[in-house]
Structure 1
Amino acid sequence: MSFAIIGAGRIGQALAKAFARKDIAVSLASRTSPAQLAELTRSLGTQVTPVSLSDAVAADTILLAIPFWAHREVAQILTDWTGKTLIDVSNAHGVDPSELGGLPSSAVVANAFAGAKLVKGFNHLVASVLAQDPAVPGGRRVVFLSSDHPPASERVRHLAERLGFAPVELGGLAEGGLLVQARGTNWGPLIFQDLAKAEQR
């Protein structure tokens, strides 16, 4: 299983740190060239490799840590995304709901990637918290997952656990997904909730 993060901003870097912390190889891409990302990836750890966007989309699992509308540009890289698991880490804050056609923002993203299976996840925490070690006193930091594809959600749940988080599944995008996304200038009720799951003994 191969992993790539598209987006080298604060969220993308926080995710890359999470992979490096657990010694899991991950590619990092953005609109800039791999050479321009080299210094950044060196600071993140040896498991983080700078690649081009075209190389990043060759990964099995791709984390979209980009501004909301930037997903359309990424979606054009391939004509068929079958076999890919996409993790939507974006937030459509400030996007008028009328621009989404009445759909949850993640459903809009999913529709742009023909054949891919999309999971909403890792988006409810601010970058400074997401970058921290998810091991907290007595437990692990929670990340919320939502998807209309249970097998894809299971794959992302397993990844979250490998990264040290405690995944909590919320159900489909039209139900649970609404809890962790923005609608216009309003945030979902679980956005910014820094929760921990106690370890069972």
Structure 2
Amino acid sequence: MSYAIIGFGAIGQALARAFARNNIEVSVASRRAPEALLPQAQAIGSTVVPRTLQEALKADVIFLAVLFEGHREVAKMLPSWQGKTIVDAMNGFEGLSSADVAKAFPGARFVKGFNHLPARTLAADPNVNGSHRVVFLSSDDQAAAAQVADLSEQLGFAPVNLGKLAEGGALVQVRDKRWAPLIFQDLFKNEPERPATAGAAS
């Protein structure tokens, strides 16, 4: 399984740190040339590999960590996203839901996740006093949600499945210039386990 992060700002770098901390190789890419990303990537870890956008989009699992309006530009880079799992880690104020964003990536298995924590918190070790920091996931494709949940656990997080995009996604999606109910909640679970319901968080 191969992984890529599109966007190398604060959130992209925070995600890269999670991969580096667990010695998992991940490609990183942005509008800038790979050479421009190299110093920061090397500072994070040797498993963080700068690539061109086209190279990074060959990955099996792709994290969207661009500014919200930038997702349309990324979506146009492939005629079909069949076989790709897209993890939407963006927040935006355009009144669009994750279900709307998913339509821009035809054929993709689309999962909303990793967007509810500030970059500084996301970058930090998720193992805190023996507990694991929660990440919320939602998807209309439960197999894809399970795949991303497994990856979340590999990265040290405790995944909580909120259900479908139109339901659980609304709990972590910025809408109408307002933060959603679960945005920036700093929640923990005692033990990592298979994706739970939101009520299992403590």
Report the alpha carbon displacement of residue 69 of structure 1 after superposing the two structures with TM: 1.6
The match for 2:171 is 179
The match for 1:36 is 36
Q: 1:160 aligned to 2:178? A: no
Q: What residue identity is the alignment partner of 2:123? A: A
The match for 1:48 is 48
Separation in 2, partners of 1:187, 1:131: 21
Separation in 2, partners of 1:171, 1:82: 22
Is the contact between residue 158 and residue 191 of structure 2 (CA under 8 Å) also seen in structure 1?
no
Paired residue secondary structure (1:168): strand
The match for 2:64 is 64
Separation in 1, partners of 2:176, 2:33: 33
Report the alpha carbon displacement of residue 109 of structure 1 after superposing the two structures with TM: 1.3
Separation in 2, partners of 1:138, 1:163: 15
Separation in 2, partners of 1:69, 1:91: 10
Report the alpha carbon displacement of residue 138 of structure 1 after superposing the two structures with TM: 3.1
TM-score, normalization: structure 1?
0.94
1:194 to 165, 186, 190: 186
Q: How does 1:134-173 map to 2 (within 5 A)?
A: 134-173=126-165
Paired residue secondary structure (2:63): strand
Paired residue secondary structure (2:62): strand
The match for 1:83 is 83
Separation in 2, partners of 1:91, 1:107: 13
Separation in 2, partners of 1:172, 1:151: 12
After the TM superposition, list the runs of 4 or more consecutive aligned residues in structure 1 that deviate by more than 3 angstroms: none
| 1:92-147 deviation digits (Å, cap 9, x = unpaired) | 1x32x3xx4xxxx2111110011001000000000000000000113100000000
Is the contact between residue 139 and residue 169 of structure 2 (CA under 8 Å) also seen in structure 1?
yes
Paired residue secondary structure (1:62): strand
Separation in 1, partners of 2:149, 2:118: 20
Q: 1:111 aligned to 2:127? A: no
The match for 1:127 is 119
Paired residue secondary structure (2:133): strand
Identity %, equivalent residues: 58
Aligned length: 192
TM-score, normalization: structure 2?
0.93
Is the contact between residue 172 and residue 182 of structure 2 (CA under 8 Å) also seen in structure 1?
yes
| 1:132-181 deviation digits (Å, cap 9, x = unpaired) | 00001131000000000011001000000000000000000000000001
Q: What residue identity is the alignment partner of 1:62? A: I
The match for 2:199 is none
Structure 2 unaligned runs (5+)? 193-202
Report the alpha carbon displacement of residue 199 of structure 1 after superposing the two structures with TM: 2.5
Paired residue secondary structure (2:149): helix
Separation in 1, partners of 2:70, 2:148: 22
